[in-house]
Structure formats: C-alpha cells, structure tokens
Chain A
C-alpha cells in the first residue's frame, strides 16, 4: 500500500514556473563569425604543421652536428644539402636517380600487371582464388632481398636481377590488397552490375575495380614503399650494369671513399623522393578518386 502511494507521488511532477524574457545584449562579443587570425589558420593547415616538423628536425640535426664537429662521422645538414645540390647540378646524382627510377618503374609496372592477372583469375574462379591465397601466404612474408642471391644466379649482375626482386616485393602486397578489396564489394553492387548484363573483363573493370579502389590504392602505396626500399637495399649490394649504378650504389661508393656528406646527400635524396611520391602523387590520386567519391575521409 505504502509503495503504491509513493509511486503515485513520484509520477506527479512538480510544476515549475514558465518564463519569457528579453534577449540579453550580445554585442560585447562582437560579430557572430569572426575570421581566424593568419596564425590560427596556419595552425589548421596540415602541410604547414608537417613542414614545421621537418624544419625543426633539420635544425636539431644542424645543431647537433655543429656541436659534435666531426664531419667524418656526422656532417651538418647544410653540408649534406650543399653536396646534394651540387651533385644534382653536376648531373651525377640526377643520373643515379634516373637509373634507379628506370628499374623501379619497370619492376613496379610488371608487378602491377602480374597482380592484375592473378586477382582477375582469383575473382573469376575458386581455383584461382585458392592459388592466389596460397601464393601470397607463401611469398608475402619472404623478404624480397632474400631472393637477390637467387636472382643473381638466374639473371646475373644487371638490371633484370633487380627487376626480379622488385616484382617480388611489389606483387604480393598489391595482389593481397586488391583481392581483399574485391571480396568486400557489396553484394548489391555486384548484382546491379550483373543486372546490366556485365560479365567477365567488363564486369571487373567497370564494377569491381572502382568499387575496390580504396583497397587497390592502399596496395599500390604499400607496393611502392616495398619497391623503393628493396631497390635501394639491392643496389647497396651491387651496382647495376658497368658504370651506371643507381642511388644505392651512390651511397655505397660514398661510404667506400669515407665521403660522409655524400652518404647523407644520398639518403636525403631517397627520403625526398619517397615523400614526394607519397604526399604528392598518391595524395593527388586520393583527392581525385576515393575522397571525391566519399569512400574515404
């Protein structure tokens, strides 16, 4: 009985007075929208913030190297940049970069093409999918550089050994990502495509590839990083053919001559090219595709 009356009282809400009032004067706060100051806007700019980090790193490098004062062990940032710029101007570094890039482009292109064939087979038949799954499970964990001795036996000292190693580095990362991208294409989208009578290659090109593009792009980015890393490492082991070595060989030669600022110049070049491809080329592709389509923030 007691609990019952308590419930009833709880249900009856206490009446509170209503009110209306004149608006408080808000003019002291100024306009409702005030443009941010230049500094505040700069702080919101990702490019500016990252640039600032780079500048800070360069300053730390410069300061530490000057304090250490041992150019043989740790040259200053300014020395390294000077060597890099002069070697670019006299054409040596540029030539090395071109040599490396040529091998890279050939290896990367072949890798992408083979990955395309393998994943197309994988989506069109169960056997193809089993073949791809087994091959990626076997070869993806195998470091590309470990295949270099074998490549040297098969192809000898030369560009094709490097290309072979590169293809291995690129292929599995791209195939793995593309395949998982294809698998995650929504069933409704697949049915829509087939509803229009699309089959075979047209179905893959017009429906699956664009639908899986975020994953494919991730694969291409990882593949690029693997390729670049593998190439420099392989070039450190041996030059390319005859006199024309790549960027890795440039670093190796500089070390032999104890020319430490050139070693740093080579490393800087490797880093800069890596940054450019990642943040300019791939970024541009992302903005024009997956971000525009709302498939990625």
Chain B
C-alpha cells in the first residue's frame, strides 16, 4: 500500500465550534479522518453529530478551533473550487442561468477552464448525467432529481480534488433517491472521482460508501470506521453490516435502562 501518496484529504484532531445567539455549540470533538484517492468516503451519523458542520469546515466555510485540515498537504483556509460542494437544497442552482450556463459557471468564474474548453466539458458532463435534452432549459422547469443531476454535473465538470456532498439526495422522494444513488455509482465507475458523502441513512451509506465513518452526537466524535462491500456485495454481508452499524449508533441507548420518571 502506498498510503502516503494517494492521501487526498487529511483531517486531524479537528474540533469545531459555532455560536448561536444563546450557546457556544461544539459540533465535533477531535475528529480524525483520511480520505484517499477514489474513496467513496461516507460520514454517517444521527442529526447533531456535526457531520454537515465538518463538511462545511472542509469546504473552507469555517475554521477549526483545534486541529487542522489539509488537502494534498496544503492547509484549507478558505472556500475554493478544488473542493466542489453539492448541497441538499435545489436552490444551489442559479435560477437565472440555463443548465448549460449553470454547469459552465464555476469553470469560468474560477478561471479553471476557459472558452471552448469549458463549453465542451460542460456538454460532456451534462451528457454523463443524461440531461442533453435539457441543455438550454432553466432550472425552474426541471424536476428535483434533474436539478440534483445538474448540481452533480456542475461539480464533476470542475474535476475537483474532492467532491463534497452534503446529503444531496435527502430532499428527493424515495424512488428518485434510489435511482440517483445508482447513477452516482455508475458515474463513479466511469470517472473514479474522490468523494466525501454525508448522510443520515444507514442504507444509503452502505450503498454509496466504500468506507463509512460513524459519528456519535453531542458533540460529534468518531465511533467507528468500517469498510462497505458496496452495492454489489453479498446480501447477508450487507444486512450484517447494517445491523452492526445500527448497534454501534443506537445500541447503547437501547440497552441502557431509562431513568425513572423520564418518558
């Protein structure tokens, strides 16, 4: 194993805190994780485990109070197009730009790709997510799943060092969600991009992930890091993994006796 060479993202001992008007909230406490080239790394945990906050910090939107985040050895200090983010909300698309313009926009805005090159890359990314027919359509005319495909195409066209996905399918209906997971995996088979995927669904984590990190809530701490057989894995193995994850995340709550007088 050439562990050191293919290390993309290194998060070491990261503690994140943010302020609400009333509280200073510690979102994660001393989290360590390493994402390697072509990993499908999943952050899994219940709400309140700081997984989205951690993704924001990796995106450069907030600074850790302790520890450091490095991408290919360079410390992360501010948002940048080397870490393209895909969000859960459909509002991430610019409503005033067509599908093509939306996909081209980050390439042109960051100056990473220009002119003809950007145009061709955008077309090929749109083709990869099977939206060629909708190239010149505005986002308000697309369905939720299509909007998400545009967001994914837009992020992939940039060829970022790592793709950061913040519960991208959570706002979709169950059937579309299932389909999008398959499509994302098919894309990964083609391009082998590195991604960090946040979800609160155990099932989604097992389907999407090659490696799954479990976080415990209040504050978010690392509970375990597991390998996933992926979608083509043996069914018994998948259900065993699912149960194992369930036990790790919720087991102690179920086994612990409830204090008297608390509902």
- A associates with B: yes
Taking Cβ atoms with an 8 Å cutoff, the residues of A that contact B are 186, 188-189, 191-192, 194-198, 202, 206-207, 210-211, 213, 289, 292-295
- How many Å lie between the Cα of A198 and that of B84 in the bound state? 13
Kindly list chain A residues whose C-beta atoms are within 8 Å of the C-beta of B138.
292-294
Q: Mark B52-91, 1 if CB is under 8 A from A, else 0.
A: 0000000101000000000000000001110111010101
Taking Cβ atoms with an 8 Å cutoff, the residues of B that contact A are 59, 61, 79-81, 83-85, 87, 89, 91-92, 94-96, 105-106, 109-110, 138-141
Whether A195 pairs with B96 at a CB distance below 8 angstroms is: no
Whether A293 pairs with B96 at a CB distance below 8 angstroms is: yes
- How many Å lie between the Cα of A289 and that of B97 in the bound state? 10
- How many Å lie between the Cα of A46 and that of B106 in the bound state? 40
Contact of B87 (CB < 8 Å), options: A192, A194, A210, A292: A192
Q: Report if A194-B89 is in contact (Cβ < 8 Å); known contacts: A210-B96, A294-B139.
A: no
- How many Å lie between the Cα of A198 and that of B109 in the bound state? 7
Whether A294 pairs with B81 at a CB distance below 8 angstroms is: no
- The residue in chain A whose Cβ has the minimal distance to the Cβ of B109 is A196
- How many Å lie between the Cα of A194 and that of B94 in the bound state? 13
Whether B140 pairs with A195 at a CB distance below 8 angstroms is: no
User: Nearest-CB distance from A147 to chain B (Å)?
Assistant: 37
Kindly list chain B residues whose C-beta atoms are within 8 Å of the C-beta of A202.
109
Kindly list chain B residues whose C-beta atoms are within 8 Å of the C-beta of A294.
95, 138-141
Whether A186 pairs with B81 at a CB distance below 8 angstroms is: no
User: Nearest-CB distance from B262 to chain A (Å)?
Assistant: 35
Provide 10 A-B residue pairs closer than 8 Å at the C-beta atoms, listed in order of the A residue: A188-B91, A191-B61, A195-B59, A196-B81, A207-B94, A213-B96, A289-B96, A293-B138, A293-B140, A295-B95
Q: A191-B92, A195-B85, A210-B94 are in contact. List 15 more A-B contacts (CB 8 A).
A: A186-B91, A188-B91, A189-B92, A189-B94, A191-B59, A191-B87, A192-B85, A195-B84, A195-B106, A197-B81, A197-B109, A206-B109, A210-B96, A211-B95, A295-B96
Kindly list chain B residues whose C-beta atoms are within 8 Å of the C-beta of A293.
95-96, 138, 140
- How many Å lie between the Cα of A213 and that of B61 in the bound state? 25
Contact of A194 (CB < 8 Å), options: B61, B84, B95, B141: B61
User: Nearest-CB distance from A162 to chain B (Å)?
Assistant: 36
User: Nearest-CB distance from A291 to chain B (Å)?
Assistant: 10
User: Nearest-CB distance from A102 to chain B (Å)?
Assistant: 33
Number of A-B contacts (CB under 8 A): 63
Q: Report if A211-B94 is in contact (Cβ < 8 Å); known contacts: A188-B87, A191-B85, A195-B59.
A: yes
Give me the 10 closest cross-chain CB pairs, A-B, nearest first.
A294-B140, A186-B91, A188-B89, A196-B106, A210-B96, A194-B79, A196-B109, A293-B96, A293-B95, A188-B92
Kindly list chain A residues whose C-beta atoms are within 8 Å of the C-beta of B106.
195-196
- The residue in chain B whose Cβ has the minimal distance to the Cβ of A289 is B96
User: Nearest-CB distance from B161 to chain A (Å)?
Assistant: 13
User: Nearest-CB distance from A124 to chain B (Å)?
Assistant: 16
Kindly list chain B residues whose C-beta atoms are within 8 Å of the C-beta of A189.
91-92, 94
- The residue in chain B whose Cβ has the minimal distance to the Cβ of A292 is B138
- How many Å lie between the Cα of A194 and that of B140 in the bound state? 22
- How many Å lie between the Cα of A70 and that of B109 in the bound state? 67
Q: Report if A197-B110 is in contact (Cβ < 8 Å); known contacts: A191-B85, A192-B87, A294-B140.
A: yes
Whether A196 pairs with B110 at a CB distance below 8 angstroms is: yes
User: Nearest-CB distance from B125 to chain A (Å)?
Assistant: 15
Kindly list chain A residues whose C-beta atoms are within 8 Å of the C-beta of B79.
191, 194-195, 197
User: Nearest-CB distance from B146 to chain A (Å)?
Assistant: 14
Kindly list chain B residues whose C-beta atoms are within 8 Å of the C-beta of A197.
79-81, 109-110
Kindly list chain B residues whose C-beta atoms are within 8 Å of the C-beta of A289.
96
Whether A196 pairs with B59 at a CB distance below 8 angstroms is: no
User: Nearest-CB distance from B57 to chain A (Å)?
Assistant: 13
- The residue in chain B whose Cβ has the minimal distance to the Cβ of A203 is B109
- The residue in chain B whose Cβ has the minimal distance to the Cβ of A192 is B92
- How many Å lie between the Cα of A48 and that of B59 in the bound state? 54
Kindly list chain A residues whose C-beta atoms are within 8 Å of the C-beta of B85.
191-192, 195
Contact of A196 (CB < 8 Å), options: B61, B87, B95, B105: B105
- The residue in chain B whose Cβ has the minimal distance to the Cβ of A294 is B140
- How many Å lie between the Cα of A254 and that of B91 in the bound state? 56
User: Nearest-CB distance from A106 to chain B (Å)?
Assistant: 30
Kindly list chain A residues whose C-beta atoms are within 8 Å of the C-beta of B89.
186, 188
Kindly list chain A residues whose C-beta atoms are within 8 Å of the C-beta of B141.
294
- How many Å lie between the Cα of A191 and that of B94 in the bound state? 12
- How many Å lie between the Cα of A206 and that of B96 in the bound state? 10
- How many Å lie between the Cα of A207 and that of B96 in the bound state? 10
- How many Å lie between the Cα of A188 and that of B139 in the bound state? 15
Kindly list chain B residues whose C-beta atoms are within 8 Å of the C-beta of A207.
94
Kindly list chain B residues whose C-beta atoms are within 8 Å of the C-beta of A192.
85, 87, 92, 94
- How many Å lie between the Cα of A188 and that of B80 in the bound state? 15
User: Nearest-CB distance from A143 to chain B (Å)?
Assistant: 36
